[in-house]
Structures are given as structure tokens and as C-alpha cells.
Amino acid sequence: MTEATKACPVTYCMRMIGGKWKPIILYLISKGANRFGVLQRGIEGISKQMLTKQLREMEQDGILHRKIFAEIPPRVEYSVTKKGKSLYPIIHSMREWGEKNGAVSL
């Protein structure tokens, strides 16, 4: 992390959840979509590779927790960490803004 990123809270926040997909992923998981296939079907236009990349970054940043179940076939579920839950007010504000300014609620 650069000194500029450390010095600017907005830059840090954008590094955690900025971009096209991360806010949507966090919102869907907060609403119970915790499996890879459910997330992929719920996010129009995201590729498997991009979803995997974004989930790994969010896990590495401490936003998501990945739990692997020892089953056949293997099952993986994602959950939001305490750090990730601290972002809920931001995500819900984004949703409210979208609803007030023309987007259809999910």
C-alpha cells in the first residue's frame, strides 16, 4: 500500500470495494447469495474468471470469508466478515441512491 493510499481514507475504501463488481458482490452476499454459481447468475456480464478474481481479492482484503466443505462434489460458501459488514452502510447508501435516481431495486 502506498503512502498516498494510507493517507486518504477514500482511496483506501475504493481499493477495498471500488470497481464494477465488488459492491455488487458484497450486496448479493449480504442478501444470502453465498455460492459461486448463485453469484455468477446474479451478476449480469461477469465472467467466471473475473468473479473468481474479485472473490479472491475480497477474501485477501478481509472483506469475505471462504469456507470449503469436505463433500463430494466440493462445496464453497462465502460469508461477510466483521470488516466487510462495516461496509454495509456504504453499500446500502449506494442502493438507496440508485433507487432514488432511476434504477430498479433488486
Number of structural domains in the chain: 1
Report the predicted TM-score, pTM, of the whole model to 2 decimal places: 0.83
Range of the domain at 65: 20-100
CATH code of 65's domain: 1.10.10.10
4 belongs to a structural domain: no
Distances (CA, A) of 33 to 3, 4, 6, 30, 42: 36, 35, 32, 7, 8
Q: What sign does the dihedral 78-82-83-84 (CA atoms) show?
A: positive
32 belongs to a structural domain: yes
The per-residue pLDDT string of the chain (106 residues; one tens digit each, 9 = 90 and over) reads 566 556 788 888 888 888 899 999 999 999 998 999 999 999 999 999 999 999 999 999 999 999 999 888 889 999 999 999 999 999 989 889 888 888 665 5
15 belongs to a structural domain: no
6 belongs to a structural domain: no
